[in-house]
Amino acid sequence: MKALVGSSNGTSRIEYWRDLIRQQAASGQSVAAFCAARGLTEQLLYYWRKRLNAEAPVSFALVRTTAEAERPLPEMVLDVSADRRLRIPQGVDAATLRTVLTVLREQA
């Protein structure tokens, strides 16, 4: 480790710490246990974790939601008579609605 920390090649030092942080995450050990087993200080591991996370690029992803499919669509309610109502769902075919309304008029 001393050769890497004192090295003039910053890339190898960064790769060393990146690999150590990955190992700690995959080990299932606490940071304290992981560092104690390797003779490292917790502060050093936390320092490098913070430094490397700051260098990580931020990325965004386009997310499509299905909120419209999950929430019930509003409907129209037409009072045909005192005791009859016609519920018309959002997106009903116009030709079908015309046919239903024509039949209702003929019955009245």
* Measured distance CA(48)–CA(89) in Å, rounded: 58
Query: What's the Cα-to-Cα distance from 73 to each of 2, 21, 28, 86, 107, rounded to whole Å?
Result: 66, 49, 47, 16, 29
The whole-angstrom separation of Cα 66 and Cα 46 is 39
62 within domain boundaries:
no
In a domain, 68, yes or no: no
Residue 79 and residue 50 in one domain: no
Indicate whether 3 pLDDT > 50: no
**Tokens representing residue 103 in the block:** 């039949």
Q: How many domains does the chain have?
A: 2
pLDDT digits (tens, 9 = 90+) for 51-106: 988 876 767 777 777 765 566 667 888 887 778 888 888 888 888 888 888 888 88
Residues 81 and 36 both lie in one domain = no
d(CA 91, CA 79): 19
- Asked if 48 and 17 touch (Cβ cutoff 8 Å), the reply is yes
Domain assignment of residue 14, given as a range: 2-55
